[in-house]
Amino acid sequence: MNITEIFDEVAKQMRSDFEKARKAVKQPGLKGASFEETFRTFLREYLPRSLDVSTGVLVDAHGSASRQLDVIISDSAKTPVFYSSGDIRVIPVECAYTVIEVKAYLDANELDSVFQNMESVRNLRKTAYVKPTGAIIYSDNLYGREWEIWPINYYVFTYDSIELMTLVEHIHVRHQTRKLPEHSRIDTVCVLDKGVICNQHADGKFDALPQPGSKLYVCKTARSLLLFYALTSRYFNQARLPNFRFTDYLGKMTF
Q: Mind listing the pLDDT tens digit of every residue in the chain (255 residues)?
A: 677 888 788 888 877 777 766 666 555 544 567 778 889 999 999 899 999 999 999 999 999 999 999 999 999 999 998 998 877 899 999 999 999 999 999 999 999 999 999 999 999 999 999 987 766 767 799 999 999 999 999 999 999 999 999 999 999 999 999 999 999 999 999 999 999 999 999 999 999 999 999 999 999 999 999 999 999 999 999 999 999 999 999 875 455
Beta strands in 32-86 (DSSP E): 51-59, 69-75, 83-85
CA distance 77 to 95: 10
What b/e sequence results for 69-87 when a residue is b if at least 16 CB atoms lie within 10 Å of its CB, and e otherwise?
bbbbbbbeebbeeeeeeeb
What is the model's pLDDT at position 199?
98
Q: According to DSSP H, which parts of the chain are helical?
A: 3-24, 28-46, 108-122, 164-177, 224-238
On whether the pTM is more than 0.95, the answer is no
CA distance 120 to 231: 25
Q: Please, what is the Cα angle at 222 between 197 and 152, to 5 degrees?
A: 35
Phi, psi values for residue 215, rounded to 5°: -135, 155
CA distance 253 to 218: 50
What is the model's pLDDT at position 2?
77
What is the model's pLDDT at position 139?
79
Q: What is the dihedral of CA 79, 183, 233, 159, to 10 degrees?
A: 100
